[in-house]
Amino acid sequence: MTRVASIGECMIELSERPGGLLSRSFGGDTLNTAVYLARLGVAVDYITALGDDEWSEDMLRRWQAEGVGVSRVVRVPGRLPGLHLIRTDPGGQRRFFYWRNSSPARDLFALPQTDEIAAALVGYDLLYLSGVALSLYGEAGRERLFGLLDAARAQGRRIAFDTNFRVRGWPDREIAKAAFRAAIARADIVLASVEDLEPLFGEAGVAELPVANPKVEVVLKLAEPVVRLFHGGREETVPGEPAPDAIDTTAAGDSFAAAYIAARLAGAEPTVAARSGHRLAGAVVRHRGAIIPRAAMPEGMMPVSRTSEEERS
């Protein structure tokens, strides 16, 4: 079975409701993708560091309930997870506010357990990470991570990089540019969007993508629900359905990435995978929060359990 490692950070998530009320959940871009991958039948482990507090315990229980593997989660005594607040405008567009400077996930590649994590990572078939994950680790941590990606690729493993960019996560834009370029250069699949590239690289941000390299699969999401695919020397366009009833765009890109990767791992062509990504993202934006109820997953996307099959027979 193909095994995926999703690397990053999960935080306590507060969503602001009308009147200033807050609801608590958990979220983080690569964690959201891991949850949706697990729902779509992919064997996925989440690679991160947590504290030994009650919120960290609650996170682990929820991830396990979703089918996400937690055997590689490092526990750091005395530390607390990061926290972020989501505020959405009337059109469903979201803004994030972070309190995460002392999050244990930031030290994932500078802990006594790092060597064990490093040895495990090269054994996964696909390693998935994002621009937000890159912002966590600092220069030394990123160099350690890039070395691990190189070692994994040398053993025939694949790398998928999502260009999620949050300017507040970086001390300097030039540092962010260098880190993104290093990650893109190592990726077999690049999941990009103009929403991320233009704030970081400017209007010529698309030029940073290896669209002319037939060995790299580039998925470029445009401002409208359209994806441009570059793979094997070909370019294709896959439109999605507009979602005028969207209420919260949180995790739209994360869920798209999960559905796309899951479809590709199952052998689907890139255009089919992109349509699958559009379909799941379209459902996600119609619900509040990053993780939608299982009952709200689009019909036919989740694997059918043996028990369910037996009940129907």
Measured CA to CA, the distance from residue 275 to residue 207 in angstroms comes to 24
Is residue 147 a contact partner of residue 154, using CB atoms and an 8 Å limit?
no
Measured CA to CA, the distance from residue 126 to residue 211 in angstroms comes to 21
Task: Read off φ and ψ for residue 109, nearest 5 degrees.
Answer: -100, 25
The neighbouring-strand residues paired with 23 are 15
Is residue 105 a contact partner of residue 8, using CB atoms and an 8 Å limit?
yes
Measured CA to CA, the distance from residue 100 to residue 194 in angstroms comes to 26
Collapsing DSSP to helix, strand or coil, 295 comes out as helix
254 as an active site residue: the answer is: yes
Could you tell me the two tokens for 91? 């059109």
Measured CA to CA, the distance from residue 133 to residue 149 in angstroms comes to 14
Distance from chain centroid for Cα 213: 23
Measured CA to CA, the distance from residue 184 to residue 214 in angstroms comes to 14
Is residue 125 a contact partner of residue 3, using CB atoms and an 8 Å limit?
yes
Catalytic residue among 107, 162, 248, 254: 254
* Residues known to be catalytic: 254
